[in-house]
Amino acid sequence: MTKKIKVALLSKACVTRVYRSKLDEIVKQSDVDLTVIVPPEWRDERGTLPFEVTENAGYDIRVEPIAFNGSYHCHFYPGLRRRLYEIDPDVLHIDEEPYNFATGHAMWVARGHRCKTLFFSWQNINKHYPWPFSAIESSVMRKVDAAIFGSISSLKVFEDKGYRGISEVIPQFGVDTEVYRMPTNAEHNGSSLNIGYIGRLVYEKGVDLLIHVMTRMPKDVRLNVYGSGPELSALRELIDSLQIQDRVLIAPWMESDKIPSLLHTFDVLVLPSRTTAGWKEQFGRVLIEAMASGVPVIGSSCGEIPHVIGDAGFVFEENDSFALAEALMRLYSDISLRSQLAQKGRKRVLTHFTQASVASRTAKLYKSLAHNS
C-alpha cells in the first residue's frame, strides 16, 4: 500500500468554507493526507471573517490562534511549532506571500522538521519592500523548495527578483461548479438589466466609475453593490449627489455560501478595477464565480482580468466610462447576447478554472516535492 504524503496547509483564506472545496478535491487524491491550519477569524477592510465550520470534511482542520490579526504583513501563528510537531508533515504549504512575517516565521519553524516548503504569491508588480520585509522575502526565496504563482505575470515578477526554484502557475482557488451553477428558469431575473458588483469597496476596485455610468443608463437599469470597505461613505455620497438613490443599492458583504444564489439575481456582473501605483488586479475571483453561474461578465483591462475573461465577456479600457456604458447597453438591448455569453462563460470555467483542476495540479506538486526528499 502506498504511503500517504502528509501535507500541512497554513491558510487564513481557508476560514471561508467555499474556498475549502479545493481541499475536498485534494484529499480525493488517495495518497494525500491533508491538515489545514486556519485562524479562528481574519479581519480586513470587509470586517471580521469568522472561521466557517465544515461538517464531515475529509481532511483535518486545526484552528490556531493568530497574532496581529488584520495586519497583512505582520500577522503570524505563535503556536505553529507545536502544531507542526503534532502533524509531522512531509510538505508545508504556506498560503502567504513570501515577504509576509507569517511566511518567514513558518519557514523558520519548519527548519526543525524535514518537511519541504512552498509559498503562494499573487504579486504582479515588482515592489521593493522596506526592511525587514525585504529581508524576509529574500530569505524565503533562497530557502523555499517550491512556489506557486497565481498568474504568469506573478511568476515573471519573481524571476526578475532572482527566484530560480521550482515553480508552478496555478490559481489559488478554482470554482466548485456544483455550487456555482447555471440558473434554472425559475431563478431567472426578470428586470431589464440588473447589474451586480461583489467585492471590496476601495478606490482601486473602481466602483465609483460604475456608479457614474448609471447616469447614462435607461431608467429601468438597476445597480446592486455588495461589499464593505473604506470607500463606503464616499460611494453613498456620490449616489446622493447624482440623485440615483432609487436605482442603486449598496448592501453589506454576504457570507460566502449566500453568494451563489445572489449571483442568479444579476443579469451582468461588472469588475471595473483600476491600476494604481501599488496595485493591479491579481485575478478577480468573482468573475469566475459569475461565469460558472451563467452570469455574463464585464471587466476592465486592469491586471489579469482580460486573461480571466478571455472571449467569454466584455473587456473595456480601465477608467473608460463610455466604453463600459457601451458594453452595458449592448447587454441591455440584446437578451440573446446575454445567453450566449452565459454559455461561453460556463464553458471557460469548466475548461480552465474548476476546483478539481486546481486541486489536481496542486496535489501533483506536493507529490513531486515529497518524493524528491
pTM: 0.86
pLDDT tens readout for residues 227-242 = 999 999 999 999 999 9
| Closest by Cα among 232, 206, 211, 207 to 221 | 211
Looking at the structure, tell me whether residues 189 and 311 fall in a common domain: yes
Looking at the structure, tell me whether residues 31 and 152 fall in a common domain: yes
Is the previous residue joined to 260 through a cis bond, with omega within 30 degrees of 0?
A: no
Looking at the structure, tell me whether residues 96 and 156 fall in a common domain: yes
At residue 373 the predicted structure's pLDDT band, cuts being 50, 70 and 90, is low
pLDDT tens readout for residues 165-207 = 999 999 999 999 999 999 876 444 455 899 999 999 999 999 9
pLDDT tens readout for residues 306-358 = 999 999 999 999 999 999 999 999 999 999 999 999 999 999 999 999 999 99
pLDDT tens readout for residues 28-75 = 877 999 999 999 999 987 789 899 988 878 899 999 999 999 999 999
pLDDT tens readout for residues 282-311 = 999 999 999 999 999 999 999 999 999 999
What is the per-residue pLDDT for 44?
A: 85
The span from the CA of 51 to the CA of 38, in Å, is 8
Q: Which domain holds residue 221?
A: 185-352
Q: Is 269 inside a domain boundary?
A: yes
> What are the residues whose beta carbons fall under 8 Å from the beta carbon of 89, sequence distance 6 or more?
6, 7, 8, 35, 113, 115
What is the per-residue pLDDT for 1?
A: 52
What is the per-residue pLDDT for 114?
A: 85
CA dihedral 154, 157, 158, 161 (to 10 degrees): -170
Please give the DSSP secondary-structure letter assigned to residue 76: B
Place of cell 491600476: 275
Looking at the structure, tell me whether residues 26 and 159 fall in a common domain: yes
* Phi (first) and psi of residue 281, to 5 degrees: -55, 125
Residue 35, domain CATH: 3.40.50.2000
pLDDT tens readout for residues 232-271 = 999 999 999 999 999 999 999 888 889 999 999 999 999 9
Looking at the structure, tell me whether residues 18 and 105 fall in a common domain: yes
Looking at the structure, tell me whether residues 157 and 201 fall in a common domain: no
What is the per-residue pLDDT for 265?
A: 96
Looking at the structure, tell me whether residues 262 and 319 fall in a common domain: yes
Q: Indicate the number of domains in the chain.
A: 2
Q: Is 179 inside a domain boundary?
A: no
What is the per-residue pLDDT for 188?
A: 46
Q: Is 190 inside a domain boundary?
A: yes
Looking at the structure, tell me whether residues 121 and 201 fall in a common domain: no
Looking at the structure, tell me whether residues 117 and 9 fall in a common domain: yes
The span from the CA of 25 to the CA of 363, in Å, is 9
Average pLDDT of the segment spanning 158-165: 96
The span from the CA of 88 to the CA of 7, in Å, is 9
Looking at the structure, tell me whether residues 61 and 164 fall in a common domain: yes
Average confidence score pLDDT of the chain: 94
| Closest by Cα among 352, 355, 361 to 307 | 352
Neighbours of 72 (CB within 10 A): 14
Looking at the structure, tell me whether residues 340 and 360 fall in a common domain: no
Looking at the structure, tell me whether residues 36 and 96 fall in a common domain: yes
CB 145 within 8 Å of CB 116: yes
Residue 90 predicted with pLDDT over 80: yes
